[in-house]
Amino acid sequence: MSALHVPASIAAELQGYIWARDTVGASGGAVYRLHGKPNAPDLYLKFGKDSLADDITDEMTRLRWFGHYLPVPAVLHFICTRGEAWLLMTALPGRTAYEILEQEPGQHTAVVGAIAQFLRRSHAIPVGECPFTSNHAYRLARARTRIDAGLVDEDDFDEVREGWTASQVWAALQDFLPLAPDPVVTHGDFSLDNLLIHEGEVVGCIDVGRGGIADRYQDLAIAWNCLSEFGPSLQQSFLEQYGVRTVDQDKLDFHLMLDELF
């Protein structure tokens, strides 16, 4: 695709790159992969307007914090103008966990072990050092705002909730409350597309804009749900290798439903 018109402060740096739109995942804003420039590293650029600009701002602040603890893209430039945000980041090595699981069935066991180990590492970050709140009360408030604004994609619900409305999901969520908190530092969208693996290890994670202190099932539920495509044995193996011996089904169901609203 042709290069976009970008702010003057980064235009010169982006000259010579080949632009490609990245459509994997559902993170806020448009994502572009910049590659093919001689003797220059690949980069990623996110752009968004209005509420998506807010999402990109959230991601920028979290990237800078998470970078002290986990391998995440480095922020090269962040530009925020009236109603627009541009985030230029380094590219991480490796392939996504989803790509490897899909293309190399023989690696299923190794991939599940790697992501479980990485999640344990992530959840071991001291909660007291994290400045971001992303617990279920905070996310419920944001979800209510999204429902009222008509921003929830009801056509993208999981098969078990196919045909539901966002209001029905909201009502079902209330049946699980109150929830006893088990706070850790969460990624917030711990999906297979957001984990990069190289030589059998998770070497980075992306899309940390929802990261913050929340119940550990926020991450466990999303990863467990993603693994359903590859069979229940991998789902069970993931939970066991993470350290879950008895699944809290209410928390699992609650966080899966809550994620539908984002």
Catalytic residue among 55, 58, 189, 259: 189
Query: How far is the C-alpha of 35 from the C-alpha of 42, rounded, in Å?
Result: 5
- Give the integer Cα–Cα distance in Å for 114 and 109: 9
Sign of the Cα pseudo-torsion (31, 99, 234, 198, in order) = negative
The two structure tokens encoding residue 169? 């999901």
Known catalytic membership, residue 22: no
Which sign, positive or negative, has the C-alpha torsion 134, 70, 36, 5? positive
Dihedral (CA of 46, 52, 57, 59) sign? negative
Query: Which amino acid belongs to residue 168?
Result: Q
> Could you write out the DSSP letters of every residue in 192-259?
GGGEEEETTEEEEE---TT-EEEETHHHHHHHHHHHGGG-HHHHHHHHHHHT-SS--HHHHHHHHHHH
Q: Which residues are catalytic?
A: 189
